[in-house]
């Protein structure tokens, strides 16, 4: 009989000899026995917190993961990380902590698993930055790992129609416009978020959950299974078992996170009409996994992959509707059968994408959540990387549902989001304008806050396709309308966006993928010579972040070592 494989790739250090008796003594205090010291120790990282519906249920789900680990012969060790609720922080100073939380989550998981010599990891996330934070940690640690999404929220109801959190944001714009009264806005507010789960449209949480499943880092179905469902409980339990299988088979995250796996993720995000944040996060995960992925690769994929899903914010359905007709796996099967998915990529099941898809049912016949390839929502991808004299290193435009191919208008420039919000509320923003919010990038924000409050006000006032909104900050996945974010270099670095002035003419062109300020080189140089940048934030988490973060076109990572080349790429 073959000797049983020792799966304690790290934790074996505690059982080597009597010298480690003190280490074992402390572990005995938390429930370890002689028998458990012979078993692999599996971290179960939960992003549980009482601050948001996205994460409120994750502690309960973690118990299913622990059961799965125990059943498969491991010792589960649960710990928590932080989370920032974007929807709650939106439009406040708290939003500056959102993107940094991604790296804090990654660092805390890496610290726990590395510091405790754990052998493998199951990570459970719910809100936007949880998914990339967990994935970055997995890539940096490179121990066998499985990610589980906490699941999408169920839709709320208002006047017989499905609504979600973005409905509330846009309701504020309608209220300001006089289209609805206080009572109706209150009804939308009270019904927009009916229970646990990530925001219900194809926003950043669902976008990144779908991306990680497409990459092979989640079990099939994890992205689609709703937060409140037996399917979600089952897939968390199975993740606990799957991670022991990965240990047995010596399958590590960097075996899964290949260039082709990232291309699968981009394909699924584009087909589903995902968030601009997916570009930022996929670049950061690729950096951690040491995969050569650049912002220009996204335009290559954008030309190949059509937008198929009629999901909010640009469509009518919520993510649970996708689950009801076959989920992300059904979409992946359709894309694979039509040559748009790499089927030979390894996954956390120990099988390839193609092997996993063999058991998957086709999308429900007659469904209209996902359009066919011969009649797509859009013939190419809905996220476009723009470059030009306003964004030499790139900017990201979200054009799902936007009919305008080219917008040229007069710039109205604001150095804070609140100043722009005040202008919209005062009806100072009119058709044709190009609203620019700057000094809110990774360094300048600091933290690259999202602009959902502002973009929703513009859309709620009926100006979504008539006013362009540009920023070196970010947009929520719930944003719709003519928006361009992630402008790099950012204003805080002295990028050209710091030089644009109210009254300048600015052009955004989908077809040429250009973003241009119509100002001569001579004038731009004269403005640059007079430019005085505000000081970087100096204290605490945001101060540290502002001094070490890279530009958005590199994923806004905090461990980019080639500082001299940072703004030359």
By annotation, the residues acting in catalysis are 476
- For 212, the token pair is 């990680």
The answer to whether 215 and 277 have CB atoms below 8 angstroms apart is: no
Bridge-partner residues for 149, per DSSP? 125
Backbone angles phi, psi at 553, to 5 degrees: -70, -10
The answer to whether 195 and 157 have CB atoms below 8 angstroms apart is: no
Closest CA to 393 of 281, 487, 514, 517: 487
Can you tell me which residue has the tokens 């078993």? 39
Angle subtended by helix axes 230-249 and 58-71, to nearest 10: 40
Q: Is the dihedral of CA 108, 111, 115, 120 positive or negative?
A: positive
Distance between CA atoms of residues 15 and 17, nearest Å:
6
Within 8 A by CB and 6+ apart from 301, the residues are 263, 266, 267, 270, 381
The answer to whether 490 and 443 have CB atoms below 8 angstroms apart is: yes
Please, what is the Cα angle at 353 between 350 and 355, to 5 degrees? Answer: 75
Closest CA to 261 of 242, 239, 289, 299: 289
349 phi-psi bin (left φ>0, alpha ψ -120 to 50, beta other): alpha
Please, what is the Cα angle at 486 between 289 and 389, to 5 degrees? Answer: 115
- For 15, the token pair is 């059982």
Distance between CA atoms of residues 208 and 205, nearest Å:
5
Enclosing H/E stretch for 407: strand 406-414
Hey, how many other C-beta atoms are within 10 angstroms of the C-beta on 34?
A: 9
41-46, strands of its sheet edge to edge:
75-80, 41-46, 120-125, 145-149
Helix residue ranges per DSSP H, 74-129: 86-89, 98-115
- For 367, the token pair is 């469904």
Q: Parallel, antiparallel, or unpaired for β 505-509 and 406-414? A: antiparallel
- For 129, the token pair is 């930055």
The answer to whether 21 and 87 have CB atoms below 8 angstroms apart is: no
């Amino acid at each position: 009989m073959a000797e049983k494989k020792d799966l304690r790739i790290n934790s074996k250090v505690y059982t080597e000899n009597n010298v480690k008796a003190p280490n074992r003594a402390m572990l005995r205090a938390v429930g370890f026995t002689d028998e458990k010291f012979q078993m692999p120790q599996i971290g179960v990282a939960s992003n549980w917190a009482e601050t948001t519906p996205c994460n409120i249920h994750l502690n309960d789900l973690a118990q299913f993961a622990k059961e799965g680990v125990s059943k498969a012969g491991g010792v589960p060790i649960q710990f928590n990380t932080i989370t920032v609720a974007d929807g709650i922080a939106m439009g406040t100073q708290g939003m500056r902590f959102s993107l940094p939380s991604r790296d804090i989550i990654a660092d805390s998981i890496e610290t726990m698993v590395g510091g405790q010599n754990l052998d493998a990891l199951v990570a459970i996330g719910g809100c936007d930055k949880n998914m990339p934070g967990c994935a970055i940690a997995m890539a940096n640690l490179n121990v066998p790992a499985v990610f589980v999404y906490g699941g999408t929220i169920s839709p709320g109801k208002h006047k017989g129609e499905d609504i979600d959190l973005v409905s509330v944001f846009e309701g504020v714009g309608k209220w300001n416009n006089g289209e609805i009264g206080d009572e109706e806005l209150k009804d939308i507010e009270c019904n927009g978020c009916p229970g646990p789960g990530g925001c219900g449209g194809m926003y950043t949480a669902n976008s990144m959950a779908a991306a990680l499943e497409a990459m092979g880092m989640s079990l099939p179905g994890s992205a689609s299974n709703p937060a409140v469902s037996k399917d979600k409980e089952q897939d968390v339990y199975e993740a606990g078992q799957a991670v022991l299988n990965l240990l047995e088979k010596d399958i590590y995250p960097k075996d899964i996170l290949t260039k082709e796996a990232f291309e699968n993720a981009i394909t699924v995000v584009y087909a589903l009409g995902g968030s601009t944040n997916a570009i930022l996060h996929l670049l950061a995960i690729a950096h951690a996994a040491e995969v050569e992925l650049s912002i220009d690769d996204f335009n290559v994929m954008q030309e190949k992959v059509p937008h198929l899903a009629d999901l909010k914010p640009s469509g009518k359905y919520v993510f649970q509707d996708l689950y009801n007709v076959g989920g992300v796996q059904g979409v992946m099967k359709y894309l694979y059968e039509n040559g748009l998915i790499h089927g030979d990529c390894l996954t956390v099941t120990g099988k390839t994408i193609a092997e996993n898809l063999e058991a998957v049912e086709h999308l429900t016949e007659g469904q209209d959540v996902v359009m066919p390839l011969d009649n797509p929502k859009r013939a190419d991808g809905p996220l476009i990387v723009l470059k030009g004299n306003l964004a030499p290193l790139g900017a990201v435009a979200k054009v799902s549902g936007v009919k305008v191919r080219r917008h040229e208008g007069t710039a109205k420039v604001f150095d804070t989001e609140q100043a722009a919000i005040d202008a919209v509320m005062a009806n100072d923003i009119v058709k044709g304008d190009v609203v620019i919010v700057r000094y809110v990038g990774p360094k300048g924000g600091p933290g690259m806050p999202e602009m959902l409050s502002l973009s929703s006000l513009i859309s709620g006032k009926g100006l979504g396709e008539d006013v362009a909104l540009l920023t070196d900050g970010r947009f929520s996945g719930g944003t719709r309308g003519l928006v361009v974010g992630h402008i790099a270099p950012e204003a805080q670095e002295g990028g050209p966006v710091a030089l644009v002035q109210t009254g300048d003419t600015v052009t955004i062109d989908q077809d040429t993928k250009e973003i241009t300020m119509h100002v001569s080189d001579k004038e731009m140089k004269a403005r640059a010579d007079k430019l005085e940048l505000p000081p970087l934030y100096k204290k605490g988490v945001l101060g540290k972040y502002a001094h070490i973060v890279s530009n958005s076109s590199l994923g806004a990572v905090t461990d980019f070592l080639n500082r001299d080349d940072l703004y030359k790429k």
